[in-house]
Amino acid sequence: MTWQKQQLPADHPPVKSGGVGVLLVNLGTPDAPTPKAVKKYLAEFLSDPRVIEIPQIAWQPILRGVILNVRPKKSAHAYAQVWTEKGSPLASITSQQAEKLQVRLGDAVKVDWAMRYGNPSIPDKLQAMMDAGCERIVLAPLYPQYSGATTATVVDKAGEALGKMRWQPSLRVMPPYHDDPAYIDALATDIGAQLDALAFVPEVLLLSFHGMPRRTLDLGDPYHCHCMKTARLLQAALARPDIRMVTTFQSRFGPAKWLEPATDAVLEEEAAKGTKRLAIAAPGFSADCLETLEELAIRGREQFTEAGGEEFAALGCLNAGDAGMAMLETLVRRELAGWI
């Protein structure tokens, strides 16, 4: 192949090409647990029409005039309770996932991570990958269950970034994996081990998924169905007839009707009717974050015990543990087929 031996012209600009990349993407986080940083983050997050499906002409005055003047202080207090020396738990864990996946995949692939909202951004990371020579990129949204407000908006943002590139990479998007055997097996292995390590046997295991407005289901979003299927498959894989499992939805916001039953309401109802020992898992979250570490582990415990419960445990997400990383490698390698 004589063309491979030819020298580039002296005035040819330096170009890196031929590489393959994997970009892990999670929801997002403020840069710091302060009202100012949280306000900036919420302004971006809550301005996404995929997240708030209200005409912007009606929504923006409410967001700018009320919510962004009230909620940042409260949310900053919540973030401060879970912030670590490495910063945001979600960012720190997603970074670990990328580092461990890089080791598993080897030098043939460049692995990096981004956040849909906040930093590091999807456009910045896609451009950095192109600059590093990655002409083919697997975009991997870390959302097991598909929703327009999660998976779709990641693809939207990537498309927006591509629309500004003269030289675009070829892009593959990792599909949702709510019923993938690798995912269900990872959950069963990880949650089963955490249950076995508890000092008590729960009477009830709540499987808490992030909530969505009820109208998203009516409009055709498959998220609710994906969550329910995950719960059914996970219950069968765990095979724990001694533990009653209940599927719930957390993080309600605003006056609209949301998917039910609500996690906070079920915690209080279970305690009120005599349940003394309860554990809660969040299988829809790929990494621990504000919603799991503060909303479930801290406030969830308070809600359950104040209503009469006694033993409570919030189980960790898959995070960067062995079971979760083996699953992620399986899913990503499938999308890399033919590229490496």
**Ordered DSSP codes for 9-69:** PTTPPP---SEEEEEEEEEEE-SSSSHHHHHHHHHHHTT-TTTS-S-HHHHHHHIIIIIHH
**How many domains does the chain contain in total?**
2
CATH code where residue 165 lies: 3.40.50.1400
My answer on whether 75 and 205 are in the same domain is no
* Average pLDDT, integer, range 19-34: 97
In a domain, 80, yes or no: yes
* Structure tokens, 209: 């998924």
Per-residue confidence (pLDDT) for residue 11, from 0 to 100: 72
My answer on whether 250 and 122 are in the same domain is no
My answer on whether 89 and 208 are in the same domain is no
* Structure tokens, 308: 């009469």
My answer on whether 132 and 231 are in the same domain is no
Question: How does the average pLDDT of the chain come out, rounded?
Answer: 95
Per-residue confidence (pLDDT) for residue 16, from 0 to 100: 80
My answer on whether 126 and 264 are in the same domain is no
My answer on whether 214 and 107 are in the same domain is no
Which structural domain, as residue segments, surrounds residue 74?
19-176+324-335
In a domain, 2, yes or no: no
Does pLDDT of 7 surpass 80?
no
What is the rounded distance in angstroms from the CA atom of residue 254 to the CA atom of residue 245?
A: 28
DSSP alpha helices (H): ranges in the chain?
35-45, 56-62, 68-82, 89-105, 122-131, 151-162, 181-197, 214-218, 223-238, 263-272, 290, 301-306, 322-335
pLDDT in tens, 31-81: 999 999 999 999 999 999 999 999 999 999 999 999 999 999 999 999 999
In a domain, 114, yes or no: yes
What three-state secondary structure class fits 172?
A: strand
User: For residue 131, which phi and psi values (nearest 5 degrees)?
Assistant: -60, -30
In a domain, 319, yes or no: no
Q: Tell me what percent of the residues of the chain surpass a pLDDT of 70.
A: 97
Q: Tell me what percent of the residues of the chain surpass a pLDDT of 90.
A: 93
pLDDT in tens, 290-315: 999 999 999 999 999 999 999 999 99
* Structure tokens, 16: 């890196």
The C-alpha torsion from 101 through 105 and 106 to 110, rounded to 10°, is: -70
pLDDT tier for residue 95 given thresholds of 50, 70 and 90: very high
Angle between helical axes of 322-335 and 89-105 (0-180°, round to 10): 60
Angle at 289 between CA 285 and CA 295, to 5 degrees: 95
My answer on whether 236 and 292 are in the same domain is yes
My answer on whether 138 and 257 are in the same domain is no
The dihedral sign for the CA sequence 288, 95, 168, 46: positive
My answer on whether 50 and 156 are in the same domain is yes
DSSP letter (8 states) at residue 82: H
Per-residue confidence (pLDDT) for residue 8, from 0 to 100: 65
pLDDT tier for residue 211 given thresholds of 50, 70 and 90: very high
In a domain, 171, yes or no: yes
What is the rounded distance in angstroms from the CA atom of residue 172 to the CA atom of residue 152?
A: 14
My answer on whether 164 and 208 are in the same domain is no
CB half-sphere exposure, 161, CA atoms < 13 A? 22
pLDDT tier for residue 6 given thresholds of 50, 70 and 90: low
In a domain, 310, yes or no: yes
Does pLDDT of 1 surpass 50?
no
My answer on whether 146 and 211 are in the same domain is no
Per-residue confidence (pLDDT) for residue 240, from 0 to 100: 97
Q: Which of 127, 100, 124, 123 is nearest to 111 (CA)?
A: 100
Q: Which helix (H) or strand (E) holds 173?
A: strand 170-173
Q: Which helix (H) or strand (E) holds 113?
A: strand 110-118
Are 277 and 200 in contact, with CB atoms under 8 Å apart?
A: yes
* Average pLDDT, integer, range 249-255: 89
My answer on whether 240 and 167 are in the same domain is no
In a domain, 96, yes or no: yes
In a domain, 10, yes or no: no
pLDDT tier for residue 256 given thresholds of 50, 70 and 90: confident
Residue found by looking up tokens 């957390």 in the block: 250
* Structure tokens, 238: 């765990």
DSSP letter (8 states) at residue 213: B
Residue found by looking up tokens 């554990």 in the block: 279
